Amino acid sequence: MAQVLEFKLPDLGEGLTEAEIVRWLVQVGDVVAVDQPVVEVETAKASVEVPCPYGGVVTARYGEEGTELPVGAPLLTVAVGEPAAESGEGSGNVLVGYGTSEAPGRRRRVRPVAPAGGGASRGVNGSASAPAPGRPVDAGLPSGPVPVISPLVRRLAREGGLDLRQLAGSGPDGLILRADVEQALRAGSGRDRGRTAEVPAVAAPAPAAAPEAGEVRVPLKGIRGAVADKLSRSRREIPDATCWVDADATELMRARAAMNAAGGPKISLLALLARISTAALARFPELNSSVDTGAREIVRHPHVHLGFAAQTERGLVVPVVRDAHTRDAESLTAEFARLTEAAHAGTLTPGELTGGTFTLNNYGVFGVDGSTPIVNHPEAAMLGVGRIIPKPWVHEGELAVRQVVQLSLTFDHRVCDGGTAGGFLRYVADCVEQPAVLLRTL
């Protein structure tokens, strides 16, 4: 007898609580193999093809293309035969690198539930079933934990003044979804085409102002929304400070030109700045850290996983070069190029976008001299590099035209004081001005 197994949307990376279905790769009734990609989803950071750990016949899909699902919501169900049911094996490979802690071989008989987006789900015979509507919970019912997975849903309800205990979710086992909260908030006074949700009158959202002529509203969702949330969190939680210095980069540019003239792979300027940064972090490890607010501890990381800001058509992303402190300039150049290409193609994996311990931001590519970077939470510091341009400069006691760059360091003042931050930045500037300094300290 076949066994129906539910495959849920796995945790696709740290800090990501939901994903949007971009394209289904299978239909109801299709036979899928173990580890076959079944759906393409887009998180706030990357597009990912999600493979299914079970082999069998697809009996149901949950959510239409364009629907956002929270992590842990069902994606599809698969009917597997006796051999698979007896062996109790799923590959588990879908979970590798996605940060989930759910046991890969876990099985559960389920009944089809409504798609997260509120659309109808389709069974094996193709018939549609209506979604289970959200409804208020009677005040006399016993209290218990509110079935919510996504922090986004909790925040949306909190900002709208909505008591989640008044809702029964339309997700599996009463899970409250984003659509349920948005429906309740839209109801306002308590009614919206048959779905009832009592919102406290004092907390009802204020009516929106009439749009002005020509006004354009852009939803803060997807990658733009993720960037907004992360930057806002950084500003809320991190008491940051910024210091900066101008440096004469003439000798660094000459050194790079000499390296590239010697033959072999070309070395990028970003790679040289990364080598300088990792050497500086070895001398000032306080800046390669994060703060555990719950434990009230500063966590100093033993490895430098170097993030770098990359502007793409989809928005700003920060790919991460693993173990940057162990790489030479040639290896760093190649890895920067690979990750940048993947960023523009939208194929970065969650593992390539998370886990950074320090970020390098070369905003000089935009033709600007300086900036005050926002720390990439939960990291403790970011080094910003402006454009390198000819400027008048006093060199060896005489006025000369030199290649000058402004360097800025924004740091979390909880992990160190200004002396440490200034020492780090001064060391970076000294290496930029005299690359031999770096050779002496390696």
| In the chain, where the domains are located | 3-129, 132-207, 222-441
**Assigned CATH for 222-441:** 3.30.559.10
- The whole-number pLDDT of residue 338 equals 95
* DSSP helix/strand/coil, 313: coil
CB–CB of 50/38 below 8 Å? yes
The whole-number pLDDT of residue 63 equals: 87
Q: Which residue of the set 292, 323, 328, 417 is catalytic?
A: 417
- Average pLDDT of span 223-228: 78
Statement: residue 257 has pLDDT above 70: yes
In tens, the pLDDT along 127-155 reads 333 333 333 334 443 345 566 555 556 66
The residue with tokens 């990028």 is 268
Same fold for the pair 3-129 and 222-441: no
Q: Which of 240, 246, 413, 430 is catalytic?
A: 413
CATH number of 3-129: 2.40.50.100
CA separation for the pair 402, 368 (Å, rounded): 17
Percentage of the chain with pLDDT > 90?
44
413 is catalytic: yes
CA atoms within 13 A on the CB side of 83: 3
Question: Lowest-confidence range among 82-86, 100-104, 377-381?
Answer: 100-104
Average pLDDT over residues 53-61: 91
Question: What band does 179 get if pLDDT is binned at 50, 70 and 90?
Answer: confident
In this prediction, residue 192 carries a pLDDT of: 41
Closest CA to 418 of 385, 381, 384: 381
For residues 98 and 349, give the distance between their C-alpha atoms in angstroms, rounded to a whole number. Answer: 9
Q: What is the mean pLDDT of residues 64-77?
A: 88
Q: What distance in Å separates the CA atoms of residue 44 and residue 357, rounded to the nearest whole number?
A: 20
Q: Which residue blocks in 112-266 are alpha helix, DSSP H?
A: 151-159, 178-187, 222-237, 250-261
Low-confidence winner among 83-87, 257-261, 409-413 (lowest mean pLDDT): 83-87
417 counts as catalytic = yes
CA 314, 318, 323, 329 torsion-angle sign: positive
Please name which of 265, 264, 387 lies closest in space to residue 332, comparing C-alpha atoms. 265
Residue 189 has pLDDT above 50, yes or no: no
- The neighbour count for residue 429, using CB atoms within 10 Å, is 22
- 134-138, 172-176, 337-341 — most confident range: 337-341
Task: Give the integer Cα–Cα distance in Å for 203 and 224.
Answer: 28
Cα distance between residue 223 and residue 228, in whole Å: 9
User: How does the average pLDDT of the chain come out, rounded?
Assistant: 79
Mean pLDDT of 216-221: 83
Least confident residue range of 23-37, 203-217, 296-310, 347-361: 203-217
Q: Both tokens of residue 441?
A: 């300290």
Which pLDDT band, with edges at 50, 70 and 90, does 66 fall under?
A: confident
Phi, psi of 318 (to 5 degrees): -130, 85
